[in-house]
Chains A and B, each alone.
Chain A
Amino acid sequence: MRKVRAAVKHRVLVIDDEEDSRDAVSRRLKADGFEVEEAASPAEAVAKINAASPAYEVIVTDMVMESPDSGVQTLIAALQRDIFCEVIVLTAYGNVGNAVDSMRRGAFDYLQKNDPHQDVYEQLVERVHSAFQRRRSSTEAVRRLTRTLQETED
């Protein structure tokens, strides 16, 4: 099992209207040491995203919930709340159209739920770790940039 470096547990929001799937994802992420919160509908997800302070760093969302592009809606909400939020989208096997759309809109990555030849949970855990890494480097880059700007002004 991978060791999580931070002393504070990394917090992930898992969004899926299918209770069974949501539970399976949560358990798997918890087993890897993440702190997991859940949302059972896009509406609940948006409410939680807006209420969270600090903002969620990484979000895992299902694509098809109430509507075929529910995942895009939660992605937009997440990026409005925090531009550095990393969103991983779960899509049905073969439904790449939505996945490409979400990548264009700034998702970190997408995963196909029912790819027969992949262990999607292993992939997911790996992607969540990468997402945290990228978020860290993004925020550090911004901090550096801010510092440089301040120094220039001084």
Chain B
Amino acid sequence: MSEPDSAPSAPAPLVPLDPLEAESLRRASRFLSRVLDLTQLLEAILGEGLEAVNATRGFVGLVNHNRGEVEVRITAGVGWESLENPRRIRISDEPGAGITGRVAATGVPYLTGDAPRDPHYVMFFPDVRSEIAVPLISRQGRVTGVLNLETERPHAFTARDRQLLVALANQASIAISVANYRQREAALIEIGKELAAVHDMAALFRVVVSRAPEILRADDCTLFELDTARGGLVVRAGYRQLAKREGELTYELGRGLTGWVAEHGEVVRLDRPGEDPRWENLFPEIPADELDAYLAAPIPGRSGVWGVLRVVRSRKPTARQPYRFTERDEALLSTLASQVGAAVRQRELQESQVQMERMAAWGELSARSAHMIGNKVFALKGRLSELRLLLKAPELSRAELAAAVERSQSSLTGLEEILVEFRDFIAATQLDRLPVDLNALLRACIEEMTPPDPLIAVETELLCEPLWFLGDAAKLRRALGELIQNALTHLSAGGRVRIRSGQAAPGDPEALGLQAPAVFVAVRDTGPGVPPEHKGRLFEPFFTTRARGMGLGLSIVKGIVNAHAGAVAEVGEPGEGACFVIALPAHEEPAHEESESGREASGPGD
């Protein structure tokens, strides 16, 4: 083991001031601070420990206060694999519980003389004659783990070894807490990404309350929205206890600790919150006497507080100290709350943009409708004026009268067609959403399509798996039908329509810029294609190259797709036929009764 040219790697003797020992600790510290992966870190701690006290076997366990156990994470030395159940050790300072359980319970190091004679020693391996265990203690004074070392020599460990291991354990604790924090930060970044991808707000809130306890080592988490109309905090999502109160008004503004957070827009971080004068014990996740720590952060909104995100920790019988939230926990929760706030604002912004676009479309629609209806009415007036003239004429021609009536009828039909389109346009954005399989929808559409010419071929290339999205089946079917029909009307004999469906990841061309996993359908035809000068206006209301109708067809398609948070575009090369793509946010496969087909199977809806 001796390496004459390098710094001594063997444990240096005795007193804390000994330069060799100090150097060894510094080396361990430097090394530990570089290791960020928790498992590697625990391996390193165990390795340093074994070397420091010349032990032959050992393990590092981490404390799980929820279970009241030490979980053995890393082991060294022979014989571990043959042990029946060494992986969990009960935390207790009663005799017979074992040294590890005792150290975890008391937070005090323990070393045996001749192990088999020690009252607290419990035998794992028959050859062990000495055992030493030191607690890993967090900055808050909580026991987070135990380093346990053994050897076959009796009376092998000394007070000096204990001192050395305690110093090592302190270094290790810091390194563990840094590694933990990094891990939690990384998890937080992951959540941030997840939040950006979730479109449904309720789903987003559920992600937050289910992931926050993991990151903040909390036992429960609740997300409240400040509803100014109702004058207080409404539960939007709860991890455990308050999940069943979703949508309920809880704290009035200013009532209780959580109401205080909403009113003042400041974080509250407390242990034993029941002792705080603001505490009213209104809607706690955990009974006040079992509550160890409380942390609530305001969720920032566009103006002031949007809501409150709260986590709590329950009292653990095996922990000597309350498991208080630290400043780091506070920083993590505040970050998470800001992420929620940003996601909410993003969503509101999108909605207001959609709203503005809708208003603009409405203004345009109203003006254009007034124009077109005015024209139709003007024509109809002309027909009536013609009839009046015919009636005044000296000789009445039935044939001429009949023709004039026919013309009146046709003008009236034109007026009605406008009204139908108008109604469809309005209906396009009112959705009844359920999980729908895009492929099933396409098959139904294609089945009822009749090509205007039998020589036009309709080919399909649908992904064999179902393509779920959340939507209004009837509306989407209308949109798809419109696209396919649009392709068919631009084809002559010998033409082909090719319908392809599949999944698209963000960044794929078929995702059309959607930031979440998508399902898509592409309708390609061999017609003349869309000339470049028309591409920009294709989906505008009233744009048409056909003689009949208001030209709302493709704008209705766009309206329907947009209302589904999807995208539609024409991506064909001019001269090579048109290619329309619809992309919709994918949805997880539904439980059977939830789906459109399930509803149909269960009988008439509504």
Contact = CB atoms under 8 A, between A and B. Distances in A.
A complexed with B: yes
Nearest to A113: B378
A30 to B, nearest CB: 10
B371 A20 contact: no
A122 interface: yes
Interface string A120-134: 111000000000000
Nearest to A18: B375
Nearest to A125: B385
Contact of A92 (B371, B379, B386, B407): B371
B377 interface: yes
Contacts of B407: 23-24
A62 to B, nearest CB: 8
A31 B414 contact: no
A21 B371 contact: no
A132 B411 CA distance: 30
B383 A24 contact: yes
A64 interface: yes
Contacts, number: 55
Interface in B397-431: 407, 410-411, 414
A20 B374 contact: no
Contacts of A21: 375, 378-379, 382
B376 A20 contact: yes
A154 interface: no
B370 interface: yes
B17 interface: no
Interface in B477-500: none
Quick one: which of B382, B389, B407 has the most chain A CB within 10 A? B382
B278 interface: no
Interface string A20-38: 1101110110010000000
Contacts of B376: 18, 20
A119 interface: yes
B379 A31 contact: no
A28 B371 contact: no
A89 B471 CA distance: 49
Given A92-B374, A113-B374, A121-B382, A20 B389 contact: no
B381 interface: yes
Given A31-B389, A114-B377, A24 B371 contact: no
Given A31-B389, A114-B374, A121 B411 contact: no
**Interface size range of chain B in the complex:** 10 to 19
B385 A122 contact: yes
Contacts of A90: 378
Nearest to A17: B375
A25 B379 CA distance: 8
B318 to A, nearest CB: 80
Contacts of A120: 378, 381
A122 B385 CA distance: 8
A131 B374 CA distance: 25
A27 B377 CA distance: 16
Contacts of A93: 374
B461 to A, nearest CB: 40
Nearest to A31: B389
Contact of B385 (A28, A92, A113): A28
Interface in B355-372: 370-371
Contacts of B389: 1, 28, 31
Contacts of B374: 92-93, 113-114
A28 B389 CA distance: 9
Nearest to A94: B370
B385 A20 contact: no
A25 B382 contact: yes
Contacts of B385: 24, 28, 119, 121-122
A69 to B, nearest CB: 13
Contact of A64 (B371, B377, B386): B371
Interface in A87-126: 90, 92-93, 113-114, 119-122
Contacts of A27: 382, 386
Nearest to B370: A92
B386 A31 contact: yes
Contacts of A122: 385
Quick one: which of A20, A64, A90 has the most chain B CB within 10 A? A20
A24 B375 contact: no
A63 to B, nearest CB: 10
A11 B583 CA distance: 56
A60 to B, nearest CB: 12
A105 B124 CA distance: 108
B379 A18 contact: yes
Quick one: which of A21, A28, A93, A122 has the most chain B CB within 10 A? A21
Interface of B: 370-371, 374-379, 381-383, 385-386, 389, 407, 410-411, 414
Q: Which 7 A-B pairs have the closest CB atoms?
A: A24-B382, A20-B379, A121-B385, A113-B378, A18-B375, A21-B379, A24-B379
29 contacts: A1-B389, A18-B376, A18-B379, A20-B376, A20-B379, A20-B410, A20-B411, A20-B414, A21-B378, A21-B379, A23-B379, A23-B382, A24-B379, A24-B381, A24-B386, A27-B386, A28-B385, A28-B386, A31-B386, A64-B371, A90-B378, A92-B374, A113-B378, A114-B374, A114-B377, A120-B378, A121-B381, A121-B382, A122-B385
Given A20-B414, A24-B407, 7 more contacts: A18-B376, A21-B382, A23-B407, A24-B378, A25-B382, A31-B386, A121-B382
